[in-house]
Amino acid sequence: MSAHRELREALVREIVRGGALTDPAWRAAFAEVPRHLFVPYFFTGGNGVPERLWGEDPDPGRRERWLKGVYTDEPLGTRMRDGELVSSSSQPSLMARMLEELKVRDGDTVLEIGAGSGYNAALLSHRLGERSVTSVEYDVEIADSARSHLAAAGFRPEVVAGDGARGCRARAPYDRIIATCTLPAVPHAWPEQCRAGALILAPLSSGLILLEVRDATHAEGRFLHTPAYFVPLRGAGVGVHQHIGGLPRKALQNGLFRFLLTLTAGSLDPQEALSLWEREKRPQRERYGVTLRDGGQWAWLDDPGGPYVWELAGLLSPGGP
């Protein structure tokens, strides 16, 4: 057995032990799609200085480190510009949980926002067939690279270079939309390009929102329990920043409070958010939800009808070609 095959099977076993890949079809996809073809190099932070490991390194020890790194259950930084991470390959176990939460059925069409390395599109293509998969990537160079990686692995889904906030109307309608980049809000173009009953799964704040599309102007759903941290969506607009001085350090270090702060930016000041968080006994992510309706967008706690409802303040492109 080849080294990469052995490492890939070990990774699948680790993901299964963690409670994911209960669906045999997704387990087969992770077992058979070679991640190393999608991560020919990645950056690792040694002593605060990014180190580049790649599969063609003349040093056999560094090549071995690269291959073992590819098949660890960790996110991998795959592209940097001016010292900033602009693309990554997500943690495989998180990818597995997200793909299973999509609850795809044979014949479903999927729009992926953020092609990245192409690995997620390959897993979707393995499960549904490449003709059912469309992936949008903002960066032309990254989109070209994803196509090359996919072709090397034997997959040719549609990879489009464009603004993910606008979706891809030319390939609509979709049964599922999955985003692999953090959003300030959910673009209204997405439910417009979905069939009724479609699901949209996207990172928002530091959580994963799962929306059911009721019609072109209405979608609603709750956050999953799972925390999630991704590279931000690019090309979509402007996020909202809050001044957080004066808050207790312990609160600021709590991921659930920071999650609430992001959801309420522009609607509550940080002290009001802190009071709410403490009064409601530090709610978990799954108590929150999001509603899109008639051009508006709101986050809420427990009940979309109130009493805790906040307008999402992220600015996103309203439509697309």
Query: Which residue in 2, 24, 21, 23 sits closest to 11, CA to CA?
Result: 21
- The token pair at 153 is 């692995």
C-alpha angle with apex 179: 10 to 205, nearest 5 degrees? 100
- Residues 165 and 185 sit within 8 Å (Cβ to Cβ): no
Cis ω on the peptide bond leading into residue 232 (within 30° of 0)? no
Cβ pair 199, 212 in contact under 8 A: yes
Closest by Cα among 152, 150, 103, 188 to 160: 150
Has 206 been annotated as catalytic? no
Task: Report residue 82 as tokens.
Answer: 């001016």
Q: In angstroms, rounded to a whole number, what is the distance separating the alpha carbons of residues 222 and 263?
A: 13
Q: Is the distance from CB of 111 to CB of 168 less than 8 angstroms?
A: yes
What span, in angstroms and rounded, lies between the C-alpha atoms of 29 and 122?
A: 9
Q: List the catalytic residue out of 2, 87, 145, 275.
A: 87
Active site residues: 87
